[in-house]
Amino acid sequence: MTNQGIMKRMRYVTMVMAGLVIYVGLQAQQPLTHIQHGELRVPLNAAASLMNPQGEISLVGRRQWVGLDGAPSVYWGSGHFGLQRMGAVAGINLRHEGMAVEKLTEASVFFAKGIRISESEYIGLSLSAGFSYMDGRFSQLDPQDPAFREDVKETDALVGFGLMLYRPERYYVGLSLPRLMLGNLGAGGGDNRYDFRNLYHLTAGALFNLGMDFQFRPSLLVSYSESLRPQAEASAIFFVKQVFGIGLNARSYGELAGIAQVYIQRFGIGYSYQFGMRNRALNRGISNNTHEIGLRYRFGGITGLLN
Protein backbone atom coordinates (compact mmCIF):
# COMPACT_ATOMS: atom_id res chain seq x y z
CA MET A 1 0.00 0.00 0.00
CA THR A 2 1.32 3.49 -0.92
CA ASN A 3 2.00 6.22 1.60
CA GLN A 4 -0.95 8.15 0.20
CA GLY A 5 -3.20 5.15 0.72
CA ILE A 6 -1.97 4.74 4.28
CA MET A 7 -2.62 8.40 5.02
CA LYS A 8 -6.14 8.14 3.62
CA ARG A 9 -6.85 5.10 5.78
CA MET A 10 -5.47 6.86 8.87
CA ARG A 11 -7.66 9.89 8.19
CA TYR A 12 -10.66 7.62 7.75
CA VAL A 13 -9.98 5.81 11.02
CA THR A 14 -9.52 9.15 12.79
CA MET A 15 -12.83 10.46 11.41
CA VAL A 16 -14.66 7.30 12.51
CA MET A 17 -13.16 7.41 16.01
CA ALA A 18 -13.88 11.11 16.37
CA GLY A 19 -17.45 10.51 15.23
CA LEU A 20 -17.80 7.76 17.82
CA VAL A 21 -16.58 10.08 20.58
CA ILE A 22 -19.08 12.78 19.55
CA TYR A 23 -21.96 10.35 19.10
CA VAL A 24 -21.21 8.53 22.35
CA GLY A 25 -21.14 11.91 24.05
CA LEU A 26 -24.73 12.46 22.98
CA GLN A 27 -25.74 8.92 23.89
CA ALA A 28 -24.13 9.35 27.32
CA GLN A 29 -26.94 11.72 28.18
CA GLN A 30 -28.67 8.46 29.12
CA PRO A 31 -27.31 6.11 31.82
CA LEU A 32 -25.91 2.82 30.49
CA THR A 33 -27.90 0.03 32.11
CA HIS A 34 -28.67 -3.53 31.07
CA ILE A 35 -32.02 -4.64 29.68
CA GLN A 36 -32.22 -7.80 31.82
CA HIS A 37 -32.52 -5.84 35.07
CA GLY A 38 -35.50 -7.95 36.17
CA GLU A 39 -33.25 -11.01 36.19
CA LEU A 40 -29.78 -9.67 37.05
CA ARG A 41 -30.52 -7.18 39.81
CA VAL A 42 -27.40 -7.29 42.01
CA PRO A 43 -25.20 -5.06 39.77
CA LEU A 44 -27.85 -2.32 40.13
CA ASN A 45 -28.69 -2.87 43.80
CA ALA A 46 -26.48 -5.08 45.97
CA ALA A 47 -29.33 -5.49 48.48
CA ALA A 48 -31.05 -7.69 45.88
CA SER A 49 -28.49 -10.38 46.74
CA LEU A 50 -30.55 -11.07 49.87
CA MET A 51 -33.30 -12.55 47.69
CA ASN A 52 -30.94 -15.46 47.03
CA PRO A 53 -29.00 -15.82 50.32
CA GLN A 54 -27.42 -19.11 49.22
CA GLY A 55 -25.32 -17.29 46.63
CA GLU A 56 -24.98 -16.84 42.89
CA ILE A 57 -22.62 -15.78 40.11
CA SER A 58 -23.84 -13.64 37.23
CA LEU A 59 -22.39 -11.97 34.14
CA VAL A 60 -24.01 -9.70 31.58
CA GLY A 61 -22.49 -8.17 28.46
CA ARG A 62 -23.97 -5.40 26.33
CA ARG A 63 -22.57 -4.59 22.87
CA GLN A 64 -23.80 -1.84 20.54
CA TRP A 65 -22.95 -1.37 16.83
CA VAL A 66 -21.54 -4.90 16.50
CA GLY A 67 -18.75 -5.07 13.93
CA LEU A 68 -17.60 -1.45 14.25
CA ASP A 69 -14.29 -0.76 16.00
CA GLY A 70 -14.69 1.41 19.08
CA ALA A 71 -18.40 0.68 19.46
CA PRO A 72 -19.82 1.00 23.01
CA SER A 73 -19.63 -2.13 25.14
CA VAL A 74 -20.34 -2.71 28.83
CA TYR A 75 -19.78 -5.80 30.99
CA TRP A 76 -21.13 -6.38 34.50
CA GLY A 77 -20.02 -9.19 36.79
CA SER A 78 -21.36 -10.09 40.22
CA GLY A 79 -20.94 -12.84 42.77
CA HIS A 80 -21.99 -13.34 46.38
CA PHE A 81 -22.25 -15.99 49.08
CA GLY A 82 -24.35 -16.35 52.20
CA LEU A 83 -23.28 -15.76 55.79
CA GLN A 84 -25.93 -17.95 57.40
CA ARG A 85 -25.05 -17.29 61.04
CA MET A 86 -25.37 -13.55 60.50
CA GLY A 87 -28.37 -13.71 58.19
CA ALA A 88 -26.37 -11.70 55.67
CA VAL A 89 -24.48 -11.99 52.38
CA ALA A 90 -21.15 -10.67 51.06
CA GLY A 91 -20.02 -10.28 47.48
CA ILE A 92 -18.35 -8.32 44.72
CA ASN A 93 -19.56 -6.22 41.77
CA LEU A 94 -17.47 -5.53 38.66
CA ARG A 95 -18.06 -3.26 35.69
CA HIS A 96 -16.03 -2.50 32.57
CA GLU A 97 -17.18 0.03 30.01
CA GLY A 98 -15.49 0.87 26.74
CA MET A 99 -16.44 3.60 24.27
CA ALA A 100 -14.15 4.60 21.41
CA VAL A 101 -10.90 5.62 23.15
CA GLU A 102 -12.36 5.85 26.67
CA LYS A 103 -12.51 2.95 29.13
CA LEU A 104 -13.92 2.79 32.65
CA THR A 105 -13.35 -0.02 35.15
CA GLU A 106 -15.12 -0.25 38.51
CA ALA A 107 -14.82 -2.85 41.27
CA SER A 108 -16.46 -2.93 44.69
CA VAL A 109 -17.15 -5.35 47.52
CA PHE A 110 -20.45 -5.30 49.39
CA PHE A 111 -22.13 -6.54 52.55
CA ALA A 112 -25.91 -6.90 52.81
CA LYS A 113 -28.16 -7.66 55.77
CA GLY A 114 -31.88 -8.43 55.78
CA ILE A 115 -34.44 -7.79 58.54
CA ARG A 116 -37.86 -9.44 58.71
CA ILE A 117 -40.63 -6.86 59.22
CA SER A 118 -43.64 -9.19 58.91
CA GLU A 119 -44.42 -12.86 58.46
CA SER A 120 -43.41 -12.79 54.80
CA GLU A 121 -41.72 -9.41 54.12
CA TYR A 122 -38.16 -8.20 54.59
CA ILE A 123 -36.11 -5.03 54.35
CA GLY A 124 -32.55 -5.39 53.12
CA LEU A 125 -29.68 -2.90 53.38
CA SER A 126 -26.35 -3.10 51.55
CA LEU A 127 -23.08 -1.17 51.87
CA SER A 128 -20.26 -1.29 49.32
CA ALA A 129 -16.83 0.22 48.77
CA GLY A 130 -14.42 0.11 45.86
CA PHE A 131 -12.60 2.10 43.20
CA SER A 132 -13.10 3.47 39.71
CA TYR A 133 -10.37 3.77 37.07
CA MET A 134 -10.68 5.92 33.94
CA ASP A 135 -8.40 5.49 30.91
CA GLY A 136 -8.96 7.98 28.11
CA ARG A 137 -6.45 7.66 25.25
CA PHE A 138 -7.50 10.72 23.25
CA SER A 139 -4.11 11.15 21.58
CA GLN A 140 -4.89 8.04 19.51
CA LEU A 141 -7.39 10.04 17.49
CA ASP A 142 -4.83 12.44 16.06
CA PRO A 143 -1.75 13.43 18.12
CA GLN A 144 -1.14 16.43 15.82
CA ASP A 145 -4.63 17.89 16.25
CA PRO A 146 -4.92 20.34 19.19
CA ALA A 147 -8.67 19.66 19.29
CA PHE A 148 -7.92 16.36 21.05
CA ARG A 149 -6.50 16.75 24.53
CA GLU A 150 -3.85 14.61 26.14
CA ASP A 151 -4.50 11.15 27.57
CA VAL A 152 -6.36 10.92 30.87
CA LYS A 153 -5.70 8.23 33.49
CA GLU A 154 -7.34 8.74 36.86
CA THR A 155 -8.45 6.63 39.81
CA ASP A 156 -11.05 7.47 42.43
CA ALA A 157 -12.65 5.74 45.41
CA LEU A 158 -16.37 5.07 45.52
CA VAL A 159 -18.96 3.83 48.00
CA GLY A 160 -22.49 2.58 47.47
CA PHE A 161 -25.74 1.97 49.31
CA GLY A 162 -28.79 -0.15 48.61
CA LEU A 163 -32.21 -0.52 50.21
CA MET A 164 -34.83 -3.09 49.24
CA LEU A 165 -38.27 -4.13 50.45
CA TYR A 166 -39.09 -7.63 49.24
CA ARG A 167 -41.25 -10.68 49.68
CA PRO A 168 -39.51 -13.78 48.30
CA GLU A 169 -41.16 -15.12 45.15
CA ARG A 170 -43.72 -12.29 45.10
CA TYR A 171 -42.29 -8.77 44.67
CA TYR A 172 -39.47 -6.32 45.40
CA VAL A 173 -38.98 -2.54 45.45
CA GLY A 174 -35.51 -1.08 45.81
CA LEU A 175 -33.60 2.20 45.84
CA SER A 176 -29.83 2.25 45.37
CA LEU A 177 -26.85 4.53 45.04
CA PRO A 178 -24.28 2.09 43.62
CA ARG A 179 -21.82 4.84 42.68
CA LEU A 180 -21.12 7.68 45.10
CA MET A 181 -17.80 9.12 43.97
CA LEU A 182 -15.50 10.36 46.73
CA GLY A 183 -13.58 12.66 44.40
CA ASN A 184 -13.81 14.21 40.98
CA LEU A 185 -13.06 11.64 38.29
CA GLY A 186 -12.43 14.13 35.49
CA ALA A 187 -12.93 11.84 32.54
CA GLY A 188 -15.05 14.28 30.63
CA GLY A 189 -13.11 17.44 31.39
CA GLY A 190 -15.43 20.40 31.02
CA ASP A 191 -17.55 19.03 28.18
CA ASN A 192 -19.79 16.82 30.35
CA ARG A 193 -19.45 13.83 28.03
CA TYR A 194 -19.27 11.73 31.16
CA ASP A 195 -20.03 12.34 34.78
CA PHE A 196 -18.81 9.44 36.91
CA ARG A 197 -20.30 10.88 40.06
CA ASN A 198 -23.50 9.85 41.81
CA LEU A 199 -25.82 7.40 40.06
CA TYR A 200 -29.26 6.41 41.42
CA HIS A 201 -31.52 3.46 40.58
CA LEU A 202 -35.13 2.71 41.47
CA THR A 203 -36.03 -0.92 40.79
CA ALA A 204 -39.26 -2.86 41.18
CA GLY A 205 -40.66 -6.18 40.07
CA ALA A 206 -43.29 -8.80 40.79
CA LEU A 207 -44.23 -12.36 39.86
CA PHE A 208 -47.78 -13.48 39.04
CA ASN A 209 -48.84 -17.09 38.61
CA LEU A 210 -51.17 -17.61 35.65
CA GLY A 211 -52.28 -21.14 36.35
CA MET A 212 -50.09 -24.19 36.95
CA ASP A 213 -47.63 -23.75 34.09
CA PHE A 214 -47.51 -20.03 33.30
CA GLN A 215 -45.99 -17.03 35.09
CA PHE A 216 -45.83 -13.31 34.32
CA ARG A 217 -42.97 -11.12 35.58
CA PRO A 218 -43.07 -7.34 35.05
CA SER A 219 -40.16 -5.14 36.18
CA LEU A 220 -39.31 -1.45 36.26
CA LEU A 221 -36.04 0.49 36.33
CA VAL A 222 -35.56 4.25 36.70
CA SER A 223 -32.00 5.64 36.55
CA TYR A 224 -30.76 9.14 37.32
CA SER A 225 -27.48 11.03 37.60
CA GLU A 226 -26.86 14.75 38.12
CA SER A 227 -25.56 15.40 34.61
CA LEU A 228 -27.74 12.88 32.72
CA ARG A 229 -31.35 12.79 31.67
CA PRO A 230 -33.51 10.46 33.79
CA GLN A 231 -34.18 7.17 32.06
CA ALA A 232 -37.15 4.90 32.71
CA GLU A 233 -37.74 1.44 31.28
CA ALA A 234 -40.18 -1.39 31.79
CA SER A 235 -40.00 -5.10 30.96
CA ALA A 236 -42.69 -7.77 30.78
CA ILE A 237 -41.82 -11.47 30.41
CA PHE A 238 -44.12 -14.50 30.20
CA PHE A 239 -42.70 -17.84 31.40
CA VAL A 240 -43.71 -21.42 30.70
CA LYS A 241 -43.15 -23.84 33.60
CA GLN A 242 -40.42 -21.52 34.95
CA VAL A 243 -38.14 -22.81 32.18
CA PHE A 244 -38.60 -20.62 29.11
CA GLY A 245 -39.52 -16.95 29.04
CA ILE A 246 -40.12 -14.40 26.30
CA GLY A 247 -40.97 -10.72 26.59
CA LEU A 248 -40.39 -7.09 25.70
CA ASN A 249 -38.52 -4.10 27.12
CA ALA A 250 -39.31 -0.44 26.36
CA ARG A 251 -37.18 2.58 27.26
CA SER A 252 -38.28 6.16 27.67
CA TYR A 253 -36.12 7.45 24.79
CA GLY A 254 -37.63 5.29 22.09
CA GLU A 255 -35.71 1.99 22.30
CA LEU A 256 -37.54 -1.34 22.16
CA ALA A 257 -36.07 -4.77 22.88
CA GLY A 258 -37.07 -8.41 22.69
CA ILE A 259 -36.00 -10.70 25.55
CA ALA A 260 -35.66 -14.49 25.75
CA GLN A 261 -34.60 -16.42 28.86
CA VAL A 262 -34.03 -20.12 29.59
CA TYR A 263 -33.56 -21.87 32.95
CA ILE A 264 -31.92 -25.28 33.25
CA GLN A 265 -32.02 -26.15 36.93
CA ARG A 266 -29.65 -23.68 38.65
CA PHE A 267 -28.28 -22.23 35.40
CA GLY A 268 -29.97 -19.43 33.47
CA ILE A 269 -29.16 -17.70 30.19
CA GLY A 270 -30.82 -14.66 28.68
CA TYR A 271 -30.56 -12.79 25.38
CA SER A 272 -31.99 -9.46 24.32
CA TYR A 273 -31.95 -7.51 21.07
CA GLN A 274 -32.58 -3.78 21.28
CA PHE A 275 -33.21 -1.31 18.47
CA GLY A 276 -34.15 2.34 18.17
CA MET A 277 -37.67 3.28 17.14
CA ARG A 278 -36.81 6.90 16.36
CA ASN A 279 -34.83 8.08 13.35
CA ARG A 280 -32.16 10.39 14.73
CA ALA A 281 -29.80 12.16 12.35
CA LEU A 282 -26.68 10.45 13.72
CA ASN A 283 -28.34 7.04 13.52
CA ARG A 284 -28.70 7.12 9.76
CA GLY A 285 -25.11 6.05 9.07
CA ILE A 286 -24.54 3.82 12.12
CA SER A 287 -26.80 1.00 13.23
CA ASN A 288 -28.14 1.52 16.75
CA ASN A 289 -28.93 -2.17 17.26
CA THR A 290 -27.70 -3.61 20.57
CA HIS A 291 -27.08 -7.20 21.64
CA GLU A 292 -27.03 -8.32 25.27
CA ILE A 293 -26.31 -11.71 26.85
CA GLY A 294 -26.77 -12.56 30.53
CA LEU A 295 -25.57 -15.66 32.41
CA ARG A 296 -26.47 -16.70 35.93
CA TYR A 297 -25.67 -19.64 38.20
CA ARG A 298 -27.44 -20.02 41.53
CA PHE A 299 -26.13 -22.10 44.42
CA GLY A 300 -28.34 -24.13 46.73
CA GLY A 301 -31.80 -25.42 45.89
CA ILE A 302 -33.51 -22.14 44.96
CA THR A 303 -35.03 -22.21 41.49
CA GLY A 304 -37.70 -19.50 41.64
CA LEU A 305 -37.98 -16.69 39.09
CA LEU A 306 -37.51 -13.95 41.70
CA ASN A 307 -34.68 -15.64 43.59
- Predicted local distance difference test score (pLDDT) of residue 174: 96
- Predicted local distance difference test score (pLDDT) of residue 73: 86
- Predicted local distance difference test score (pLDDT) of residue 60: 95
Q: Which residues of 268-306 are buried (b: 16+ CB within 10 A; e: fewer)?
A: bebebebebeeeeeeeeeeebebbbebebebeeebeebb
pLDDT by residue (tens digit) across 258-307? 999 999 988 999 999 998 766 554 454 455 688 999 999 999 876 677 77
- Predicted local distance difference test score (pLDDT) of residue 188: 41
Low-confidence ranges of the chain (pLDDT < 50): 1, 3-29, 184-195, 281-282, 284-285
- Predicted local distance difference test score (pLDDT) of residue 31: 61
- Predicted local distance difference test score (pLDDT) of residue 56: 94
- Predicted local distance difference test score (pLDDT) of residue 70: 67
Q: Which domains does the chain have, with CATH numbers?
A: 43-186+196-298 (2.40.160.60)
CA–CA distance, 20 with 71 (Å, rounded to integer): 7
The model's pTM: 0.80
- What are the Cα distances from residue 120, in Å, to 72, 112, 289? 42, 19, 42
- Predicted local distance difference test score (pLDDT) of residue 171: 95
